[in-house]
Structure 1
Amino acid sequence: MRGHAYEHVAAELREAILRGDYPPGTRLPKHADLAQRYDVSEIVIRKAVDDLKNRGLVETRGRGGTTVRERPPVRRISMDRYRADAGPQSVPQTSFTRDAGVTWSEYRLDKAYQWIIADSRLAALFAVDLGVRVLERRFVFYAKGLPSQMSRSCLLAADVEGTAVADPKNEPWPGGNIGQLGSLGVEVDEIAEETAVRMPDAEESAILNIGSGVPVFAITRRMLSRGRVVEVADPIVIPGDRAVRVDQIFL
């Protein structure tokens, strides 16, 4: 048998979890029982369970044992999602509710607003001078009660100060950023995104309940109107085990 013993145990437990033998919320057998079943030491079992934690499949809470984690549906992320914001709103929706497959009543948004001065990175993304005043908005997006995405979305004070868009009480806003800017007469006609894959920081792991070995998509987005950058999201953070990136081009 090639490989370490814990890798074989972890592989069998992983297959059992994905097969549904251990549904979400179910506790795995005690380490001693698993050690006896696989005829290995408890040290091997601990390493196997650590492997499952790193993959985001199980979690351990205090003395509650090891429990199989909930597995939200995998989201398909593409630039096409912004059509939900730009199109007519027969029912309230945003690009997030569309790609998460949730209704408005199943959507929740935590938010924190503050006025800041653009640093060198933000100024470069907006293509403005250093020191320009910006509204920084930090969001946590929930689908059916589960935290699914974080973002830091910034708007220029010159565009939004003193308007309904600058009031957090108006969130969530049907049509998202495109709808908000449209209400001010600013028509978004171009969206550019850059996507990186990295490990989450401590705050992202805690808020989004990400397994220790699971990377995230870190997306930097710029929305433009007639060549002018009117919104910067830096970053949008999505757990890598809950999404796939889909890009399409017609030739």
Structure 2
Amino acid sequence: MSGHAYEHIAAELRGAILDGELAPGTRLPRHADLAARYGVSEIVVRQAIDALKNAGLVETRGRGGTRVRDRPPVRRVSSRRYLADLGSQATPRTSFTDDHAITWSQYRLDTAYRWIEADERLAGLFEVPPGTRILERHFVFYAAGRPAQMSRPCLLAADVEGTPVADPGNEPWPGGTIGQLRSLGIEVDEIAESVATRMPTPEEARTLNLGTGVPVFAVTRRMLAAGRVVEVADPIVIPGDRTVLDYDIVLPPSPG
């Protein structure tokens, strides 16, 4: 067995998980049984299991042993997803419900609102002076009962204070932030996003039920209307082990 023994064991188990041989919810053999199978000590087996935990593939729950994590795939189409918010709301929907292929009844949004003064970073993203009054919102998005996304979408008080948009009791709102702003006569016509990867904060890992060692996508989004920034979401946090970010890039015709 070349290389570290635990790496070989982890690689074989990882392959079985990714190929579907070990389905989500399957309990892995006991440490003693794995040690006997591979002719190693239980310490080496624990190292292999720890490597799988760090990859977000397995989890240990008390006396339930180590089981394969359920990681439903989600496809997030960045360049087209907001069309759901622009469309007809005869049937309530948002870009999030479309991403996850869920109905409105399967959608849940936990919210927390507060008024703040923009710090240097937020003011820079909004292109307003520091200290500008802002409605800071914290959202946790659930798809069919599973926490799937967190975000901090902020709005300018000058646009929303004293309106239904500033009332958390009106969430979730069909059409999301785009629908909210449209109700105020503000038409979003441009969305800019920047995407980074990082490790989650302890709160993010706990809220999104992330496996140890699983990174997240951290998206900073700005919505604009006629060149003016009307919303800043900083950050949008998406689990990196169950998300694919797709982009469509349309190239102009060749000159001549």
Bin of the TM-score, shorter chain as denominator length: over 0.9
Q: Higher mean Cα deviation, 145-154 or 14-23?
A: 14-23
> CA deviation digits over 1:55-92, x for unaligned, max 9?
11111122322121111123233121000001222311
Find the counterpart in structure 2 of residue 89 from structure 1: 89
**Contact 1:77-1:243 within 8 A present in 2 as well:** no
- Please provide the CA RMSD for this pair: 1.2
Find the counterpart in structure 2 of residue 29 from structure 1: 29
Matched AA of 1:17: I
Give the Cα–Cα distance (whole angstroms) in 2 for the partners of residues 16 and 246 of structure 1: 27
SS of the aligned residue for 2:173 comes to coil
**Contact 2:116-2:135 within 8 A present in 1 as well:** yes
Find the counterpart in structure 2 of residue 161 from structure 1: 161
Give the Cα–Cα distance (whole angstroms) in 1 for the partners of residues 5 and 170 of structure 2: 55
**Contact 1:89-1:174 within 8 A present in 2 as well:** yes
Q: Higher mean Cα deviation, 11-20 or 99-108?
A: 11-20
User: Does residue 219 in structure 1 map to residue 219 in structure 2?
Assistant: yes
Find the counterpart in structure 1 of residue 135 from structure 2: 135
Give the Cα–Cα distance (whole angstroms) in 2 for the partners of residues 225 and 135 of structure 1: 18
SS of the aligned residue for 2:63 comes to coil
Give the Cα–Cα distance (whole angstroms) in 1 for the partners of residues 107 and 143 of structure 2: 5
**Contact 2:75-2:246 within 8 A present in 1 as well:** no
Give the Cα–Cα distance (whole angstroms) in 2 for the partners of residues 232 and 123 of structure 1: 10
Q: CA shift at 1:190, angstroms?
A: 0.6
Find the counterpart in structure 2 of residue 187 from structure 1: 187
> CA deviation digits over 1:85-124, x for unaligned, max 9?
0122231111111111111111111111111111110000
Structure 2 gaps of 5+ residues are 252-256
SS of the aligned residue for 1:32 comes to helix
Matched AA of 2:122: L
Give the Cα–Cα distance (whole angstroms) in 1 for the partners of residues 158 and 57 of structure 2: 46
**Equivalent residue runs for 1:140-155 within 5 Å:** 140-155=140-155
TM-score w.r.t. length of structure 1: 0.96
Find the counterpart in structure 1 of residue 254 from structure 2: none
**Contact 1:216-1:237 within 8 A present in 2 as well:** yes
Matched AA of 2:142: Y
Find the counterpart in structure 2 of residue 120 from structure 1: 120
**Contact 1:74-1:241 within 8 A present in 2 as well:** no
Give the Cα–Cα distance (whole angstroms) in 1 for the partners of residues 78 and 191 of structure 2: 12
SS of the aligned residue for 2:193 comes to strand
User: Does residue 243 in structure 1 map to residue 243 in structure 2?
Assistant: yes
Q: Higher mean Cα deviation, 205-214 or 44-53?
A: 205-214
Following TM superposition, the consecutive aligned residue runs of length 4 or more in structure 1 with deviations greater than 4 angstroms are none
Find the counterpart in structure 2 of residue 234 from structure 1: 234
Find the counterpart in structure 2 of residue 11 from structure 1: 11
**Contact 1:54-1:214 within 8 A present in 2 as well:** yes
TM-score w.r.t. length of structure 2: 0.95
Matched AA of 1:107: Y
Find the counterpart in structure 1 of residue 177 from structure 2: 177
Give the Cα–Cα distance (whole angstroms) in 1 for the partners of residues 11 and 181 of structure 2: 49
Give the Cα–Cα distance (whole angstroms) in 2 for the partners of residues 219 and 155 of structure 1: 17
Q: CA shift at 1:203, angstroms?
A: 0.8
Matched AA of 2:68: V
Q: CA shift at 1:15, angstroms?
A: 1.8
> CA deviation digits over 1:137-187, x for unaligned, max 9?
100111111111100010011111111111111111000000000000011
Q: Higher mean Cα deviation, 216-225 or 204-213?
A: 204-213
Find the counterpart in structure 1 of residue 43 from structure 2: 43
Q: CA shift at 1:194, angstroms?
A: 0.5
Give the Cα–Cα distance (whole angstroms) in 1 for the partners of residues 82 and 245 of structure 2: 14
